[in-house]
């Protein structure tokens, strides 16, 4: 039963990666016949074999652990909370990245787009939105805030374009990793907007980067963002962390954030 469960998960991942048994067997240096036996539950895979197969399919630490557990093997990667003392050095590195990006907004996100940490500029921006529109919805999920009519959505001038872009990114994430939490997020967004219409909305964009255009306090703010991650992570939580940095797309937006930094004292990220 255990072997059958692990084999099904393995086959699902192989198909998600659009690999034939022959292709995956070649990458993992195992016979395609043995791989077929593993997928059908006729052979009990060793931990070493499953790790080779996971590496060949470029599975994340979390998904590698899931595959091993399904086969009755212990996980090989830790899953440490970000506030755990063991991750003190990682948290300090994140704080440096957030602080060094001031006066522009930056935040640390998990794999499901929840805000885990934010610098003072990001916090001040969300506070300014709340002061103008009232309390924001009780969620830490930045994508849900973008879609929510009581969240950031009313402030985004090019909302359809931004929302469509986020949906396509979320669909790509789901194609690579059919995560139940991401699936729940998709269903939640479907309660807030017409996802089919948004996915079909593909306007012509002349700029090299998609800009987020916010109208706040009567001023138009234009910014674009980058996503960074830890390249050598061997922990589930650390591997999934993403640091989003926002940059001004014009002089008016640059001046807005510099003026705000001059007017307000720095806050510690977190």
Do residue 55 and residue 116 come from a single domain?
no
The answer as to whether 269 is a domain residue is: no
Q: What is the pLDDT of residues 79-95, one digit of tens each?
A: 999 999 999 999 999 99
The answer as to whether 240 is a domain residue is: yes
Do residue 8 and residue 103 come from a single domain?
no
Q: What is the pLDDT of residues 210-257, one digit of tens each?
A: 899 999 999 999 999 999 999 888 999 999 999 999 999 999 999 999
The domain spanning residue 101 has which CATH number? 3.30.450.180
Tokens of 209: 């980067």
Do residue 66 and residue 91 come from a single domain?
no
The answer as to whether 76 is a domain residue is: no
Q: What is the model's pLDDT at position 176?
A: 80
**pTM of this structure:** 0.84
Residues 119, 98: contact at Cβ < 8 Å? yes
Tokens of 21: 């048994």
Q: What is the DSSP letter of 194?
A: -
Do residue 142 and residue 257 come from a single domain?
yes
Residue 22's domain spans which residues?
A: 2-70
CA separation for the pair 179, 250 (Å, rounded): 37
Q: What is the model's pLDDT at position 142?
A: 97
Q: What is the model's pLDDT at position 242?
A: 95
Q: What is the mean pLDDT of residues 133-138?
A: 93
Concatenate the DSSP letters of all residues of 201-238 into one string.
Answer: ------SSS--EEEEETTEEEEEEEEEE--TT--BHHH
pLDDT score of 163 more than 50: yes
Helix axes 61-70, 2-16, angle to 10 degrees: 150
pLDDT score of 205 more than 80: no
The answer as to whether 204 is a domain residue is: yes
Q: What is the mean pLDDT of residues 37-41?
A: 94
Number of domains, the chain: 2
Do residue 192 and residue 248 come from a single domain?
yes
């Amino acid at each position: 039963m255990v072997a059958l469960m692990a084999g099904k998960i393995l086959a699902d991942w192989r198909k998600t990666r659009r690999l034939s048994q022959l292709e995956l067997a070649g990458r993992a240096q195992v016979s395609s016949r043995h791989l077929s036996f593993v997928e059908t539950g006729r052979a009990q895979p060793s931990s070493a074999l499953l790790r080779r197969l996971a590496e060949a399919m470029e599975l994340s630490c979390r998904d590698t652990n899931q595959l091993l557990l399904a086969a009755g093997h212990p996980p090989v990667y830790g899953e440490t909370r970000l506030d755990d003392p063991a991750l003190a050095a990682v948290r300090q590195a994140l704080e440096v990245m957030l602080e060094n990006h001031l006066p522009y907004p930056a935040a640390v996100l998990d794999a499901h787009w929840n805000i885990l940490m934010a610098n003072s500029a990001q916090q001040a921006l969300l506070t300014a939105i709340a002061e103008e529109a009232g309390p924001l919805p009780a969620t830490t999920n930045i994508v849900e805030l973008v879609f929510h009519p009581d969240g950031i959505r009313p402030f985004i001038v090019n909302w359809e374009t931004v929302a469509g872009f986020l949906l396509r990114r979320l669909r790509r994430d789901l194609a690579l990793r059919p995560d139940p939490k991401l699936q729940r997020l998709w269903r939640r967004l479907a309660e807030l907007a017409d996802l089919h219409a948004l996915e079909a909305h593909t306007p012509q964009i002349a700029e090299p980067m998609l800009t987020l255009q916010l109208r706040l306090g009567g001023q138009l703010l234009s910014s674009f963002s980058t996503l960074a991650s830890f390249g050598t992570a061997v922990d589930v939580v650390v591997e999934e962390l993403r640091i989003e940095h926002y940059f001004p797309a014009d002089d008016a937006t640059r001046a807005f954030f510099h003026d705000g930094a001059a007017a307000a004292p720095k806050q510690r990220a977190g």
